[in-house]
A and B are shown apart, each in its own frame.
Chain A
Amino acid sequence: MTDNGDGAPLIELENVNKYFGTLHVLKDINLTVSRGEVLVVIGPSGGGKSTLCRTMNRLETIDSGKIIFDGRELPAEGRALAALRSEVGMVFQQFNLFAHKTIRENVTLGPTKVRKTPKEQADKRAMELLERVGIANQADKYPAQLSGGQQQRAAIARALAMDPKMVLFDEPTSALDPEMVQEVLDVMIGLARDGMTMVVVTHEMGFARRAANRVVFMADGQIVEETTPDEFFTNPKTDRAKDFLSKILTH
């Protein structure tokens, strides 16, 4: 477990509600993530974890409530929203690397087009980041030529290239072959140690134990438990959490 939250809130969700048609997927969510904190969101499928994660950079809109990032309510659209998103990195389950661009171009695109960083500088930074995630030697390949684990590490480098204030991870290891999960988790653990604010939706309990400051357990669109990883795994309070843990930890 890392200990790097300094207590100042970076993102706050107040009474957030979201519906998909008649399905109430987020029910009155109140949640604060502090600067430098690593928050892990776990829970059964369909419980609203991914949706919650995606509301934080407004890939999903909300129906009521408020989301305040860095002291400002999330902009609804246009350039202000694009500017906000450039400060919130996102790593997807399916990697979503730009298929027609090389790994290096994937990483430099944001800095050059959004931040107007000179190309040379962006290239240099991209190579540093690719070095950091261990795939510098793949820089000139296309995403389809890389393994899933390598693609996901490239996607992390792409998110980091924007120097985000926070990175959202939406089930980053769920689409990976088992032997590739650890290489991605190692990168994420390193990032957590360096003090990055992270919201991680995952089923990786090992990661939650090692890197999380706090665990949020979500089911049926609600936050059922919110506590430290130790407390959650050793002493869950609700039946819903006990039931969930008994199903995943016995194997």
Chain B
Amino acid sequence: MDELIQYGPFLAEGFLENIKLALVAGVISLIFGTVLVSMRVSPTPVLRAAGTIYVNVVRNTPLTLVLAFSALGLSDTLGLTFSTVPRVNSFWVVGLGLAAYTSAFVCEALRSGINTVPLGQAEAARSIGLTFMQSLTLIILPQAFRSVIAPLGSVMIAMIKNTTVATAGGYLADAAANMKEVFDTTGASIPIFLGIVLAFMAVTLPVGYFTGWLARRLAVVR
């Protein structure tokens, strides 16, 4: 127990980074995932193909490789930098890499939601003169979102836990990195291990319950 108390603040500092990464990746992946699904259902073949290729490549690549590619490929080789402070730069490289990865899953969850919206809804939308984008944003996506809130919750839970591989993208300040640092100096400690597990559960369990509650509350009655 002593080591958990001793290193607690250091680990909590790391855990705060996990939360910050999750917020960045959560917001961006919901937006970009929506853009992706719009591409995948659009009447334009080029957009559909681009969306499909993106999802299939990113969804089937291990996250550690996506993050390594963000750090080595985009940041180091192509010189894409978000900040001159290396630590801040790494934070954004990992946050955006995680968002890019999670977006593919958000897209697919939403696409299954679109499939639950009866075809008649789209036909009615078109028949009053709405354009494709209007039908999508006013009629189809709002109903699709409501039907996949619970699965989206699962995607978000997975994403929150995925913040622990930030190290793969060169960001060495999260809870998992800090834990490893502590273990390297003091040896493995079960209380520390369990403490971090509990910290994650304190965040992910409410996310699960909240999205489940929201799904019931916002369900579209047909």
Shortest C-beta distance, B18 to chain A (Å), equals 35
Task: Pick the contact of B221: A83, A88, A98, A144 (CB < 8 A).
Answer: A144
Q: Counting CB contacts under 8 A, is A251 at the interface?
A: no
Q: Are B138 and A109 in contact (CB under 8 A)?
A: yes
Q: Counting CB contacts under 8 A, is A188 at the interface?
A: no
Q: Are A98 and B121 in contact (CB under 8 A)?
A: yes
Shortest C-beta distance, B47 to chain A (Å), equals 14
Interface residues of A in 110-129 (CB under 8 A from B): 110, 113-114
Q: Counting CB contacts under 8 A, is A26 at the interface?
A: no
Q: Which residues of A contact B121 (CB under 8 A)?
A: 96, 98-99
Give CA–CA (A155, B127) in the complex, Å.
11
Give CA–CA (A86, B118) in the complex, Å.
21
Give CA–CA (A144, B220) in the complex, Å.
9
Q: Which residues of A contact B134 (CB under 8 A)?
A: 113-114
Q: Counting CB contacts under 8 A, is B187 at the interface?
A: no
Q: Are A99 and B220 in contact (CB under 8 A)?
A: yes
Main secondary structure of the interface of B (DSSP, over half): helix
Q: Are A100 and B143 in contact (CB under 8 A)?
A: yes
* Chain B, Cβ-Cβ closest to A111: B128
Q: Are B127 and A90 in contact (CB under 8 A)?
A: yes
Query: What is the total of A-B residue contacts with beta carbons within 8 Å?
Result: 74
Task: Pick the contact of B125: A79, A98, A144 (CB < 8 A).
Answer: A98
* Chain A, Cβ-Cβ closest to B135: A82
Cβ contacts B91-126/A at 8 Å (1 or 0 each):
000000000000000000000000000101101111
Q: Which residues of B contact A87 (CB under 8 A)?
A: 129
Interface residues of A in 60-94 (CB under 8 A from B): 77-79, 82-90, 92, 94
Q: Counting CB contacts under 8 A, is B62 at the interface?
A: no
Given the interface pairs A83-B129, A85-B129, A144-B221, the reply to whether A98 lies near B124 with Cβ below 8 Å is yes
Q: Counting CB contacts under 8 A, is B139 at the interface?
A: yes
Q: Are A100 and B146 in contact (CB under 8 A)?
A: yes
Q: Counting CB contacts under 8 A, is A153 at the interface?
A: no
Q: Are B138 and A85 in contact (CB under 8 A)?
A: no
* Chain B, Cβ-Cβ closest to A106: B124
Cβ contacts A189-228/B at 8 Å (1 or 0 each):
0000000000000000000000000000000000000000
Q: Are B123 and A59 in contact (CB under 8 A)?
A: yes
Q: Are B129 and A96 in contact (CB under 8 A)?
A: no
Shortest C-beta distance, B192 to chain A (Å), equals 47
Q: Which residues of A contact B129 (CB under 8 A)?
A: 82-87, 110, 114, 162
Q: Counting CB contacts under 8 A, is B79 at the interface?
A: no
Q: Are B123 and A100 in contact (CB under 8 A)?
A: no
Give CA–CA (A92, B126) in the complex, Å.
12
Shortest C-beta distance, B113 to chain A (Å), equals 12
Task: Pick the contact of A96: B124, B130, B143, B220 (CB < 8 A).
Answer: B124
Cβ contacts A95-109/B at 8 Å (1 or 0 each):
011111000000001
Q: Are B130 and A114 in contact (CB under 8 A)?
A: yes
Give CA–CA (A79, B131) in the complex, Å.
7
Given the interface pairs A100-B220, A142-B221, the reply to whether A57 lies near B139 with Cβ below 8 Å is no
Of B118, B120, B146, most buried by chain A (CB within 10 Å of CB) is: B120
Q: Counting CB contacts under 8 A, is B86 at the interface?
A: no
Residue pairs across A and B with Cβ atoms less than 8 A apart, 9 shown, are A57-B127, A86-B128, A86-B129, A89-B128, A92-B124, A96-B123, A109-B138, A110-B128, A162-B128
A residues lining the B interface (CB < 8 Å): 57, 59, 77-79, 82-90, 92, 94, 96-100, 109-110, 113-114, 142, 144-145, 155, 158-159, 162
